[in-house]
Structure formats: structure tokens, C-alpha cells
Amino acid sequence: MEVLEYYGHKAGIKPVSSTANERHIFFPKRFSFIEAPDEAIAVLNDLVRFSLQSRTKKIVVHQEDCVLIDHCAESAATALAVQAHGWPMVRFQGTFPTSEEQRDIVRATGLPSRLGINLSEPDGFLKFPLQHERRARGTAERSSIKEVLASEVAKHVNTCLNEYHWELTDASKMYLISLVGEILENAEEHSQRDDWWIAGYLRRKSEVSYGDCHITIFNFGRTLAESLQDLPADSMLRGRIDSLVRQHKKGFFSGGWTEENLWTLYALQGGVSRLNQGRDTLGGDRGTGTVQMIEFFQHLGSSTVAEQPPKMCVVSGSTHILFDGTYKMKRQKTANGEVAEIIAFNKQNDLRKAPDPKYVRNLKKPFPGTLISLRFYIDPKNLERLAGAP
């Protein structure tokens, strides 16, 4: 219940005032943070709004019209529904998507399984079930929860690859563990909460030669922008961002591009972290882990035959950032003469210019935390190409 109250407070959601004890939530055709984040957030907000109303006894979810259900959106809805199902007790009912493919996704990874609804498992899924974990410090003898989970994610990816007779190299496995560990570390350090959720799955279809993979990591708490704004006024990094904000205020904040969006985008750049508080230096490469993990899966998860490229997104507060390989992080000289990892989402790869609005945009309603959604492929032909690359 505390998670629902926190979400409601951060998102400015108030319980409905009427006395009805049965509520209905109608899911959009595309329930996806990658493709349609505003619609996904609207569903989550309804779920929280109705759950916080003390008279609500039953919530009916209508997914019959869904033609695309994103694993990440379904996982976030499931995380919130589980909280509502606990206390006060709210009973859930629902209708499955008409689409057989989307119905299988709901059965395999969504709300029914977590609420104890006994349904048969559809064929072809290799799951990394949704886990809700909290900070736990490691010792010399025992790894922390985030270290264990980072290793488990790498193991899951390896198991997915094994289905197609491939595996990660030792170096790639350790690199992936470090990236996932950094993201979970950031979730603990910056969000002002000590909990987070993680899940994934591989779907193998007999009619195609590749597997469809999804991984999601999310937490509720302070957003990337809110965390970065903790930087001391006299720090070099804060000075750089404030200068950039002033430049954009002269004409680049237009078409829905906002100051919060800029802070969020800047949080993904190399060397950017609220812990880099030096007056004279920027302090290392902290802050690159999210983009590097996304690019890792774009590289690993490309396909020569899939209709779409791997797609991934970061959602934090009112900002949605889409990755499909069009724009990449590049190590280059900045306007200050330093060399840094930059991804600006424009042709010039210049943070002083506005990003492509297709890839960085402002949301109608905020997501009270940070969410990473990864959709990629296990394609043997791509893996053969990578293995043969010099």
C-alpha cells in the first residue's frame, strides 16, 4: 500500500470521490512504454487512483482491444496491482486480449500469474519473473542483492542465447553484470527509495528463426532530473548544466521540449552524476551505464529478418527517450575542449542544440520514477556476424 500512496503523491493523483465499489480500466490498443508512453501512464494512474479509494473492492481490467502489450508496461501495472491486492484487499478481474499472441504474453508474464490466478503456461516462453527487491548491503562473504540480481540477469541472457546455441563470452558477461549493477546502484542511490523491480522474458516462435526478448528495470522515487538538481551550485557540473539551460531558453525550448527534458537527457551523458560534485573537475565516467547497456543490447539484439530494429526507452518524470539505433553515444570533444561520451539525439550530436522530438519528448503526465524498457532479438544470423567480426 505504501508504494501506491507514494506513487499517488508523486504523480499528484487523488482518489476518486464517488462511492462505487467496482471500477473498470480500459487498456489502449498499444499498452507500451516504448511505443505509446502517455497511454501506458494513464492506465497506471487509473490503477493507483482506484486502488487508493477505500470503497473500491473490485477492479476490472479490459485488455480485449490490445494489439500490442509491452512487457515493461505490463510489469509496471502488475507491480502496482500486487500492492493493491495486498492491503486493503482489492480483487481483480479482467478480459484477455482478443489477439492470441497478446493473450499469451499476458498469461506468461502479466497480472494473472502474480495475483495467483491459476492458468496454464503458454508454450515458447523462457521467463525471468518480475522481482521486487530492496537494498541489502553485501559483506566479504555475501554479495548484495543488486550484485546477485545483476548476475542473474546475465545468466538469463546467456540462457536465452543457449536456446539458439550461443553464449556470452566471459568478458561480455562481466561487462553486462557491471552495467546492470550500475543501474541498480543508481536506483538505490538517487531515487530516495531502496527498492526496485526487474523482469524479462524470451519468446520463441516456431514460425520464425529468431527469439523476441524483453527486459525491464524500474523504480519509483526521484526522477533523473530531480536527482541531478541536487548538485551544489558551485560544482563544475552544475555550472555546465545551468549554462546549457540558459542557452536553450534563448530559443530552443519549443515544440514541447522543456527544461526538465534537458536535465533528464543530460543525466545520461558520460561523467554526469549527482555524486560528481567537484568544483574543478567533472569526476570520471559515472552516468554512462544506462546508455551503454542499451547499446549493448542493440548490438547483441539486432536482427537481419525482424520487421523492426531493437527498440528501447528510458522514461523518467515527464521525459521519454527512445533508442532504436538512429542516434548513438559517441566519444568526442565537447564545447569545453574535453573528451566525453555524448548522445544528444540530433545530427550534430550537440547538446547545445534541441534533440529530435521523435526521440526525446515531453509526456502529458509524469512517471514518478525511472523506467528502462528493452526489446531486442536473439537472431543466429546476427550472432554469426558478430562472431566473425574482427
Provide the pLDDT for residue 141.
Answer: 46
Q: Reply yes or no on whether the pLDDT at 389 is more than 70.
A: no
Q: Reply yes or no on whether the pLDDT at 45 is more than 70.
A: yes
Poorest-pLDDT segment among 85-89, 257-261, 289-293: 85-89
Nearest to 374 by CA among 151, 219, 218: 218
Provide the pLDDT for residue 125.
Answer: 94
Q: What DSSP line would sit under 113-127, residue for residue?
A: HHTT---PPPTTEEE
Mean pLDDT, residues 69-97 taken together: 88
Instruction: Please tell me the distance from the alpha carbon of residue 313 to that of residue 290, in angstroms, as a whole number.
Output: 10
Instruction: Please tell me the distance from the alpha carbon of residue 351 to that of residue 208, in angstroms, as a whole number.
Output: 40
The chain-wide mean pLDDT, for the chain, equals: 87
Provide the pLDDT for residue 277.
Answer: 45
In this prediction the pTM is 0.91
Answer yes or no: are the C-beta atoms of 164 and 156 closer than 8 Å: no
* Lookup: cell for 320: 521519454
Q: Reply yes or no on whether the pLDDT at 278 is more than 60.
A: no
Q: What DSSP line would sit under 216-280, residue for residue?
A: EEEEESS-HHHHHTTS-TTSHHHHHHHHHHHHHHTTT--TT--HHHHHHHHHTSTT--TT---SS
Write the pLDDT tens digit of every residue in 334-359. Answer: 767 778 889 999 999 999 889 999 99
How would you classify the pairing of strands 195-204 and 125-134?
antiparallel
Poorest-pLDDT segment among 108-112, 263-267, 278-282: 278-282
* Alpha helices by DSSP H, the chain: 2-11, 37-51, 71-86, 100-109, 111-114, 145-162, 170-190, 224-228, 236-249, 259-267, 289-300, 380-388
Provide the pLDDT for residue 15.
Answer: 73
Answer yes or no: are the C-beta atoms of 200 and 71 closer than 8 Å: yes
Q: What single letter denotes the amino acid at residue 286? A: R
